[in-house]
């Protein structure tokens, strides 16, 4: 027969699982079971130590979510104080006639040492502490938590949209997005819980007043009736014990309330509250000098306590002097580090002086330098790495490295994007502010500098950080200065993907495929097609917004038709047909219905005839027809965009390449598809008829 192994059974129990229920049961047991005076001393000391511990943790937190268990701590500490009040009341009423130490040394110490044995003074001190705790600290912390919960809930949709925007722009990954969504949810739950938990502390303050009154009245009755004590002796014993008991509970309650106020009232950044106070109060020597002068002037007024004021003025002046000297030393060290070495000898010119042009460059004004400086907390470099990775995953090749440099000729808050040494886009981004973008469904207006989103041209406002949550609650998409530049850069790189694909990138793509299918690449290049022809086909695809991730299908199609034609336009059309399913999926990611624009039969017939007649001469479309086609297509495309659909024009395959090239300049976002490129599983719905 196997014996029962008690130690093995205990090890199976998770101590963290049973800790919380055990603590609650013990707290409730304290209200029922009588406790000796020595146990009360230990528990009162523990209560004070726990309150100080909670306060210090609250001072060290950098944001509210760092102490997410605080609402539960408030509840548990409140129950602990109430349990101690009940247990000490039992001891006071049963043993109070024996003397002031009947309920333990802690209550006696608070009754004698802190209030000098004078119950009138003790009663006044107790009432003042309770009023401060009830009407000032707890009420203020509860109000801040209530408002914080309300604004957090109102701002949740805007914050979620900002996370989705960063995710779509490649600035963050799926894990980071999931983590940030969890933080938003936890933040709203935290402030809501703090709003409710603060009611416990306020109730504890009210209960403290009632308990002390009951203890005094009950003690007088017990002492005079049951123990035949004189009225003066009964008042002295029981009043001092009741006041000492109340102070022992109220002082930790006040400490916990201060900790709650600190946690919910601070603005989150990378510093704890102590560092914030030292940095922001004692960093400006000029302000400290002025304060010292005012205090010193007050000390010189006749009748004022000269010693106190003049001593404080001297201390402040000394602090200002030290702060000023430290700033001078830091500036001198910075100048020495940044000072370049000056060479007196001019070197001969060499080929090293000929620097190649950067494929993609980003130039910023001097106020935007902190965005790219890791020492100042700039994360723009990290975001650019993220968007290059997302571009490679979506488009199908690795974009060139973005070279960033400062340009003092630019406006302080301006930047410009360079492609092969030529500016192709520019904008402004204000460091320290946020861009509130109107997606078309906002519910109010914001104070700030009106502008437009540099990437997509949407109306926007540059706002201060203090109204960020308010803007998100109104429906604005709020992004910081670094995100503005990263999003604009990502948009420009996507538009010019064809120019970023060089022969070196094409060779790297082919080398990557040859690792899995070496025979396929060996038969194609250079036996059937040259690298330049493949390069041109891929550029044609990218110029029309077609991703080249499926390089295997592209290479197989080129290998199949290379013996029949070497014309890059014909090869591009054949590849597009093979990639038709992917192209349509890219334009219509959901549903089986394809909403497209189409040409009127008469216009289509005229264009086909004009194309056939001018095929040999290469003449353009007749001007009158071209103007009508361009104007009506632009109007129809805007209607499609207003309905939230991608503007797509469906035409015969013979017209597709010509119309795509012709309409691309006037309508950059228009996509032109041929009938052959549509999969059989898709249903076509004509939304606009052009030329009808």
Question: Does residue 114 register a pLDDT over 70?
Answer: no
CA–CA separation, 460 vs 442, rounded Å? 11
Q: Which of 256, 258, 255 is nearest to 273 (CA)?
A: 258
Question: How big is the chain by its Cα radius of gyration, in Å?
Answer: 38
Question: Does residue 312 register a pLDDT over 80?
Answer: yes
Across the chain, which distance is largest between two alpha carbons, in Å?
128
In tens, the pLDDT along 291-310 reads 888 888 887 888 777 778 78
Question: Does residue 14 register a pLDDT over 60?
Answer: no
- The set of residues, in sequence order, having a beta carbon less than 8 Å from that of 498 and lying 6+ positions away, is 539, 540, 542, 543
CB atoms within 10 A of CB 630: 16
- The domains of the chain are located at 18-270, 282-332, 355-497, 501-578, 590-692
In tens, the pLDDT along 572-584 reads 999 999 999 999 9
pLDDT of residue 2: 47
pLDDT band at 618 (very low <50, low <70, confident <90, very high): very low
SS3 (DSSP) at 437: strand
Cα dihedral 506→507→509→512 (10° resolution):
180
Question: Does residue 199 register a pLDDT over 60?
Answer: yes
- Residue with more model confidence, 565 or 135: 565
Is 355-497's fold the same as 590-692's?
no
In tens, the pLDDT along 32-64 reads 777 777 887 788 888 888 888 888 887 777 776
Q: Which of 415, 399, 617, 388 is nearest to 496 (CA)?
A: 399
What is the DSSP code (8-state) at residue 646?
-
CA–CA separation, 668 vs 227, rounded Å? 98
Cα dihedral 258→261→263→265 (10° resolution):
-150
Q: Note whether 396 and 549 are within 8 A (CB).
A: yes
pLDDT of residue 26: 78
Question: Does residue 607 register a pLDDT over 60?
Answer: yes
Average pLDDT over residues 336-364: 70
Paired with 427 in beta bridges are: 415
Unique residue bearing structure tokens 């933080």: 183
CA–CA separation, 401 vs 399, rounded Å? 7
Could you tell me which CATH number the domain at 355-497 has?
A: 3.40.30.60
What is the DSSP code (8-state) at residue 569?
H
Q: In what order do the strands lie in the sheet with 434-437?
A: 449-452, 459-463, 434-437, 477-480
In tens, the pLDDT along 405-439 reads 988 889 999 999 999 989 999 999 999 899 999 98
CATH topology of domain 501-578: Helicase, Ruva Protein; domain 3 (1.10.8)
pLDDT of residue 116: 62
* Architecture of the domain made up of 590-692: 3-Layer(aba) Sandwich (3.40)
- DSSP state letters, 315-327: HHHHHHHHHHHHH
CA–CA separation, 86 vs 104, rounded Å? 14
Q: 430 — phi, psi (to 5°)?
A: -100, 110
- The set of residues, in sequence order, having a beta carbon less than 8 Å from that of 52 and lying 6+ positions away, is 255
Mean pLDDT, all residues of the chain: 80
In tens, the pLDDT along 640-682 reads 888 878 899 999 998 998 899 889 888 888 999 999 999 988 8
pLDDT of residue 617: 40
Question: Does residue 3 register a pLDDT over 50?
Answer: no
Query: pLDDT > 90: what percent of the chain?
Result: 24
pLDDT of residue 649: 94
Average pLDDT over residues 450-454: 93
Task: Please state, in angstroms and as integers, the Cα–Cα distance from residue 358 to each residue in 417, 422, 477, 494, 656, following that order.
Answer: 11, 10, 33, 17, 35
pLDDT of residue 517: 84
Q: Which of 503, 476, 498 is nearest to 546 (CA)?
A: 498
- Residue with more model confidence, 109 or 487: 487
- Residue with more model confidence, 1 or 490: 490
């Amino acid at each position: 027969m196997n014996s029962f192994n008690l130690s093995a059974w205990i090890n199976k129990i998770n101590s963290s699982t049973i800790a919380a229920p055990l603590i609650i049961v013990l707290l409730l047991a304290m209200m029922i079971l009588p406790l000796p005076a020595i146990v009360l001393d230990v528990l009162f000391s523990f209560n004070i130590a726990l309150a100080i511990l909670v306060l210090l943790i609250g001072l060290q937190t950098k944001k509210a979510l760092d102490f997410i268990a605080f609402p539960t701590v408030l509840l548990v500490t409140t129950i602990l104080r109430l349990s101690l009040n009940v247990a000490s009341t039992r001891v006071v009423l049963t043993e109070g006639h024996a003397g002031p130490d009947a309920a333990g040394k802690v209550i006696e110490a608070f009754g004698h040492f802190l209030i000098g044995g004078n119950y009138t003074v003790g009663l006044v001190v107790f009432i003042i502490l309770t009023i401060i705790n009830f009407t000032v600290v707890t009420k203020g912390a509860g109000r801040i938590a209530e408002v914080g919960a309300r604004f957090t809930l109102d701002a949740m949709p805007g914050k979620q949209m900002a996370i989705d925007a960063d995710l779509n722009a490649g600035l963050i990954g799926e894990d980071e997005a999931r983590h940030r969504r969890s933080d938003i949810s936890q933040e709203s739950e935290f402030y809501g819980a703090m709003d409710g938990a603060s009611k416990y502390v306020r109730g504890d303050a009210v209960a403290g007043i009632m308990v002390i009154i009951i203890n005094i009245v009950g003690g007088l009755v017990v002492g005079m009736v049951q123990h035949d004590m004189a009225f003066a002796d009964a008042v002295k014993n029981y009043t001092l014990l009741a006041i000492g008991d109340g102070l022992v509970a109220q002082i930790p309650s006040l400490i916990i309330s201060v900790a709650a106020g600190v946690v919910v009232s601070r603005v989150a950044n990378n510093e704890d509250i102590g560092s914030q106070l030292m940095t922001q109060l004692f960093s400006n020597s000029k302000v400290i000098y002025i304060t010292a002068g005012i205090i010193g002037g007050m000390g010189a007024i006749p009748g004022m306590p000269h010693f106190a004021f003049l001593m404080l003025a001297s201390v402040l002046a000394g602090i200002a002097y030290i702060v000023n000297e430290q700033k001078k030393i830091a500036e001198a060290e910075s100048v020495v580090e940044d000072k370049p070495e000056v060479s007196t000898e001019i070197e001969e010119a060499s080929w090293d002086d000929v620097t190649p042009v950067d494929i993609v460059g980003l130039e910023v004004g001097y106020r935007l330098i902190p965005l790219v400086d890791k020492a100042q907390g700039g994360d723009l470099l990290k975001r650019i790495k993220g968007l290059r990775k997302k571009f490679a995953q979506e488009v199908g090749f690795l974009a060139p490295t973005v070279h960033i440099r400062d340009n003092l000729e630019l406006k302080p808050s301006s930047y410009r994007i360079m492609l092969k040494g030529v500016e192709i886009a520019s904008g402004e981004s204000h460091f320290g502010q946020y861009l509130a973008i109107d997606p078309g469904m906002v519910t109010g207006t914001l104070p700030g500098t009106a502008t437009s989103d540099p990437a997509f041209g949407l109306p926007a406002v540059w706002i201060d950080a203090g109204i960020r949550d308010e803007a998100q609650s109104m429906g604005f998409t709020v992004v910081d200065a670094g995100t503005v530049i990263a999003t604009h850069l990502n948009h420009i790189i996507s538009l010019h993907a064809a120019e970023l694909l060089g022969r070196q990138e094409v060779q790297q793509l082919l080398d990557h495929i040859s690792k899995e299918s070496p025979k396929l690449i060996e038969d194609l290049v250079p036996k059937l097609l040259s690298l330049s022809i493949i390069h041109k086909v891929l550029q044609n695809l990218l110029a029309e917004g077609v991703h080249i991730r499926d390089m295997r299908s592209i290479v197989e199609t080129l290998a199949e038709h290379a013996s029949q034609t070497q014309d890059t336009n014909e090869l591009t059309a054949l590849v597009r047909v093979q990639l038709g399913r992917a192209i349509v999926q890219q334009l219509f990611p959901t549903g089986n219905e394809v909403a497209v624009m189409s040409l009127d039969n008469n216009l289509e017939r005229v264009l086909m005839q004009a194309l056939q007649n001018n095929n040999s001469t290469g003449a353009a479309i007749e001007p009158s027809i071209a103007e009508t086609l361009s104007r009506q297509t632009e109007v129809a495309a805007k209607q499609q965009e207003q309905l939230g659909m991608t503007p797509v024009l469906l035409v015969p395959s013979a017209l597709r390449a010509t119309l795509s090239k012709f309409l691309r300049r006037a309508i950059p976002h228009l996509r032109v598809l041929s009938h052959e490129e549509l999969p059989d599983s898709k249903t076509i719905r004509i939304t606009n008829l052009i030329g009808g």
